[in-house]
Amino acid sequence: MNGDMHELVDAEHGLISRRIFIEPEIYQEELRNIFARCWLFLCHDSQIPLPGDFFTTYMGEDPVLVVRDNGGRVHALLNICRHRGNRLCRADSGNAASFTCAYHGWTYRNDGRLTGVPYLKEAYHNAFDRDRWGLVPVAQLDQYKGLWFATFDPKAPPLCDYLGEMAWYLDAFFDRREGGIEFIGGMHKWVMPCNWKFPAENFGGDGYHTSWSHRSAIDTGSGGNFRLAPDPLGVMLSPGKGHCVIGVGPDMLADPPASEILAYEDAIRPEMEARLGPRLNRIKPIVGTVFPNFSLLRPTSRTFRVWHPRGPDKTEVWAWVYADKQAPPEVKEAIRLAGVRVFGPSGSFEQDDMDNWQGCTQTGRGVVARSYPLNYQMGLGHDRFDPALGAWASEYRYSENNHRHFYRRWAELITGAPWAELANGGTREDRHA
Amino acid sequence: MRNENSPDGGLIGEVEQFLYREARLLDDRQFHEWLQLFTDDARYFMAGRSNRYPQSSKAIAILDPGRYVESDVTGEDELALFDEDKTTLAARVARLDTGMAWAEDPPSRTRHLIANIEVEPSESEVEINVYSNFLVYRSRAETEEDFYVGARRDVLRRVDGDWKIARRRMVLDQAVLTAKNLSIFF
């Protein structure tokens, strides 16, 4: 990798080059040094509960088959036949003991082993070792509270280290009650003409855009008014390693404004506080991004999603809606409706985001435009490490300190530097340590 | 081919004119007038699709056939593309009037083509089932183009002599929506 990558991201001064959002060469480096190295979200355990259940997804642009074998063990494998490289499984999900390639009929068991090769005896003269040509597994596969993640990098730190303090913030979304979460059935999948980092950074720390971008939805009742109300305890939080969280004060409304949901939230609050600890009395985490491309959201809609990169100027969104497993049916139904009406491609909030991210991406095609850096200076010098929150915290509720942490991590990884040489989270505290 | 249960040509023509007029209201961005075409208890639903192997597929050997789901259409209790009642449809229209609905500012240029119209009697004396297909072209900004293609099944109800849409169930035939948003109506 050329040595000037660090110059693309000047987090100390809050300046980021537009080149990283549009240039194909940099995008290829991202696929290699970010998507083929980081832990990436695959699916939730409740999508593949029983033997044979499978779900097909992507890690970067690599197609991946996540499947539970006959013995109940989960595998994540390249969804590619080893023979001619055809895509093996063409369904989004289902249940299978084995998968057969449509081209020549090579067959793989649901643990990845190659078991069937037509004309093995005659055409390969019995000299073919099937054991060496099973599906290619990911380097590491692990789950956190039912969320399956994988990495192609055998040297990547274990998932729990990769998440670090972010694990607690994930708990605040996904482990609020015994049993954790489950999905509402179905998914939203759609293509956005923008660079994947714009949605990732937006969910990671852009509280600033909400009261303007989404004002029309807030004013017509679909989002509640929490963001327009003064919130002295609102804060941008960087728990390290590029992960980002937006928090509001503990008493702020941060849920889809349906009466069933609000009553439910009041009712479970003592249980949640007992489970998650006193930090909840300081802040309520509402939005976040697990570096690089897994984002979660609590208010307006209970959604989490993966921003799959599809070239420097294209992103495929895969979005799910989730509810506490123990929530009563009427609450789950209210959450489903909020997920349809407020987020997703027709969502009264989300439809306006895509247009903005498209514009931010496409104007970077101009060579002159690209010579002017983007401004990420909001709140520069006005954040500090807060031990009680386990994160770098902004002084004011609007700040771009999360963006700066995100891109600092990006800049470290993109050079291909070994994991051991990365600052622990790319925070100033770590650098000075 | 006509049998005694088939609706007469007069009814079919009436329904066709109703649907064409509705399409014109949408293309002319007369959304408040469009909203008046729905009953107060209307449900407006759009399902998506996904990729599923049929049971008969030889691409997989199904391990657990008893649990296998073959349908590739979003269920009515799942994450649909639209699931609205009259109140939330009205809120969507009101949002367009705020001057801050950025995805429609400047607005999309749409053309709704409605075809394959079938009229079927229902069990109710005041309601009929109407099937149709839609092809909606959307042009926006400088060179953006989208095609939205799918099917509708409407329940039309006679209210004070006029047809109203009591229920609209749509399916959009894409597993991955290639348009960046669904900021228009169908």
Give the domains, in start order, of chain B with CATH numbers: 9-52+67-172 (3.10.450.50)
Using omega within 30 degrees of 0 as the cis cutoff, is the peptide bond preceding A292 cis?
yes
Handedness of CA A120, A123, A127, A130 (dihedral sign): negative
Q: Is the pLDDT of residue A187 over 60?
A: yes
Q: Are A1 and A400 in contact (CB under 8 A)?
A: no
Question: Is A355 in Cβ contact with B102 (below 8 Å)?
Answer: yes
Rounded to a whole number, what is the distance in angstroms from the first to the last CA of chain A? 27
In a domain, A381, yes or no: yes
Mean pLDDT by 10 residues, chain B (186 residues): 69 97 98 98 98 96 94 96 97 96 97 98 96 98 97 97 97 98 98
Q: Are A62 and A32 in contact (CB under 8 A)?
A: no
Q: What angle in degrees, to the nearest 10, is found between the helix axes of A350-362 and A197-205? A: 130
Region A13-40: what's the mean pLDDT?
98
**Angle at CA of residue A88, ends A87 and A91, nearest 5°:** 95
Question: Is B75 in Cβ contact with A186 (below 8 Å)?
Answer: yes
Residues A372 and A417 in one domain: yes
pTM of the model: 0.96
DSSP bridge partners of A393:
A237, A384
DSSP bridge partners of A289:
A244, A295
Compute the nearest-CA separation of A69 from chain B (Å).
10
**DSSP 8-state secondary structure symbol assigned to residue B177:** B
In a domain, A149, yes or no: no
In a domain, A26, yes or no: no
Residues A284 and A415 in one domain: yes
Q: Which residues of A are catalytic?
A: 104, 206, 209, 214, 353
pLDDT digits 0-9 by tens, A312-334: 999 999 999 999 999 999 999 99
Share of chain A above pLDDT 70, in %: 95
Residues A176 and A73 in one domain: no
pLDDT digits 0-9 by tens, A56-90: 999 999 999 999 999 999 999 999 999 999 999 99
Q: Is the pLDDT of residue A429 over 50?
A: no
Q: Which two tokens stand for residue A158?
A: 């274990």
What pLDDT score was predicted for residue B4? 58
Q: Which two tokens stand for residue B177?
A: 């929506």
Cβ contacts of residue A310 below 8 Å, gap of 6+?
Answer: A61, A191, A316
**Angle at CA of residue A307, ends A93 and A80, nearest 5°:** 45
pLDDT digits 0-9 by tens, A262-302: 999 999 999 999 999 999 999 999 999 999 999 999 988 89
Residues A214 and A284 in one domain: yes
In a domain, A33, yes or no: no
Residues A276 and A407 in one domain: yes
Q: How many domains does chain A have?
A: 2
Confidence of residue A427 (pLDDT cuts 50, 70, 90): very low
Handedness of CA B139, B140, B146, B147 (dihedral sign): negative
The overall average pLDDT reported for chain A is 93
Confidence of residue A126 (pLDDT cuts 50, 70, 90): confident
Nearest to A256 by CA among A334, A193, A322, A347: A334
Residues A347 and A209 in one domain: yes
What pLDDT score was predicted for residue A428? 41
Contacts of B101 in chain A (CB under 8 A): 216, 352
For A238, the enclosing helix (H) or strand (E) is strand A235-240
What pLDDT score was predicted for residue A194? 98
Region A248-270: what's the mean pLDDT?
92
- Length in residues, chain A: 433
DSSP alpha helix (H) spans, A145-241: 159-163, 166-174, 197-205, 210-213, 215-219
Confidence of residue A226 (pLDDT cuts 50, 70, 90): low
Q: Which domain holds residue A353?
A: 10-20+165-432
Nearest-angstrom CA–CA distance, B171 and B49 = 8
State the amino acid at position A64 in one-letter form.
Answer: V
Region A350-368: what's the mean pLDDT?
95
Confidence of residue A214 (pLDDT cuts 50, 70, 90): very high
Nearest-angstrom CA–CA distance, A112 and A75 = 8
CB contact A154 to B (< 8 Å): no
SS3 (DSSP) at A42: strand
Cβ contacts of residue A16 below 8 Å, gap of 6+?
Answer: A8, A9, A10, A373, A374, A376, A407
**DSSP 8-state secondary structure symbol assigned to residue A420:** G
What pLDDT score was predicted for residue A1? 46
Compute the nearest-CA separation of B68 from chain A (Å).
7
Nearest-angstrom CA–CA distance, A291 and A306 = 11
CB contact A393 to B (< 8 Å): no
Residues A105 and A252 in one domain: no
SS3 (DSSP) at A214: coil
Residues A73 and A104 in one domain: yes
Q: Which two tokens stand for residue B102?
A: 């950025």
Q: Is the pLDDT of residue A225 over 80?
A: no
User: What's the ipTM?
Assistant: 0.95
